[in-house]
Amino acid sequence: MIAVRDLRFAYGQGFALTVPWLDVAAGERVAVVGPSGSGKTTLLNLVSGISVPDTGMVSLGGTEIGALGDRDRRALRAASVGFVFQEFALVDYLSAEENVLYPYRIGRGLRLDRAARTRARALLSEFGLGAKTRRRPAQLSQGERQRVAIARALVTQPKVILADEATGNLDPANKAAALDLLFAQGAETDAALLCVTHDHELLPRFDRVIDFADLAGVA
Ligand SMILES: Nc1ncnc2c1ncn2[C@@H]1O[C@H](COP(=O)(O)OP(=O)(O)OP(=O)(O)O)[C@@H](O)[C@H]1O
């Protein structure tokens, strides 16, 4: 589902990431670990098409995202990728439910229909937020905001789920529960799951662990 080949990406004259090879199959659950600043978030941005490689290739389901124009890349991302951002990136003035449905506001080709609304509410309920769907992010705890961000990444039933420290702000029970939900939703849609984490106790639950120190090099 995810294929990366001979990727190189640099922030101007600054940090440069190289990834010779990375594959994540449909249904596979892969953890990414590595030191702070080693480029894990940069990799997720490249896999999602938020950034485009300087050289090399990233493809999702056989579509090379670097070959697409901005509009098509955004459309592919909206349709195929669920992204749990490290800082959540929730919209302050929208309720929890409206935040979960946000991909439908911006995703060309995604239809905000009754099924999507039902899915959003079901996800929030499963996350223990059924009574807080109308609250704004500022009226939620850090852990609750994180669960809204996870629900938003899952609502479109994406084929690729990228999570940047999705369990970072949760207590141990909620960490396990959040991962259960990510895994359950991923299994339902046979999604490829790439999860950056510093929670080493969660690693045995993944099919595979990529240590960023082995995967990438600083050019
Ligand atoms: N927009 C940017 N412009 C310039 N440099 C950047 C930018 N974003 C990140 N960097 C640099 O790129 C490097 C990799 O950052 P990245 O966020 O990918 O690391 P990370 O492994 O995800 O770190 P952490 O575990 O702390 O989240 C860092 O040295 C960072 O300072």
Q: State the complex-level ipTM.
A: 0.96
Structural contact between residues 88 and 148, judged by C-beta atoms closer than 8 angstroms: yes
| pLDDT tens-digit readout, 179-202 | 888 899 899 999 999 999 988 889
Region 171-182 average pLDDT: 83
pLDDT of residue 151: 93
Domains and their CATH numbers in the chain: 25-38+69-211 (3.40.50.300)
- Residue whose CA lies nearest to ligand 1 atom number 26: 36
Three-state SS at 17: strand
Q: Is the CB of 40 under 6 A from ligand 1?
A: yes
What count of other Cβ atoms lies within 10 Å of the Cβ of residue 19? 24
Asked if residue 15 has its Cβ within 6 Å of ligand 1, the reply is yes
Question: What pLDDT was estimated at residue 41?
Answer: 93
CA of 161 relative to ligand 1 center, distance in Å: 20
Atom 16 in ligand 1: which residue has the minimum CA distance? 39
How far, in Å, from the CA of 128 to the mean position of ligand 1?
33
| Smallest CA separation from ligand 1 atom 12, residue | 15
Instruction: Reply yes or no on whether the pLDDT at 175 is more than 80.
Output: yes
Distances (CA, A) of 59 to 21, 183, 197, 213: 12, 22, 23, 23
CA of 153 to the centre of ligand 1 (A): 22
The CA distance from 28 to 175, in Å, is 19
Query: Which pLDDT tens digit goes with each residue over 68-118?
Result: 999 899 888 888 999 998 888 899 999 999 999 999 988 777 888 999 999
pLDDT, residue 218, reads: 41
Ligand 1 mutation target, pool 9, 17, 33, 40, most atoms within 8 A of CB:
40
- So what's the pLDDT on residue 215? 59
**How remote is the CA of residue 160 from the centroid of ligand 1, in Å?**
22
Banded model confidence at residue 219, pLDDT cuts 50, 70, 90: very low
pTM of the model: 0.92
CA of 47 to the centre of ligand 1 (A): 15
For residues 22 and 187, the answer to whether their CB atoms sit within 8 Å is no
Tell me which residue has its CA closest to atom 4 in ligand 1: 11
Q: Is the CB of 42 under 6 A from ligand 1?
A: yes
Report whether residue 21 contacts ligand 1, using a CB cutoff of 6 Å: no
**For all residues of the chain together, what is the average pLDDT?**
90
The single residue listed with the structure tokens 């640099």 is 10
103-157 tens-digit pLDDT: 998 877 788 899 999 999 999 998 899 999 999 999 999 889 989 999 999 999 9
Nearest Cα residue to atom 24 of ligand 1: 36
Averaged pLDDT for residues 173-179: 82
What are the distances in angstroms from CA 130 to CA 120, 153, 157, 167, 205? Answer: 10, 17, 20, 20, 27
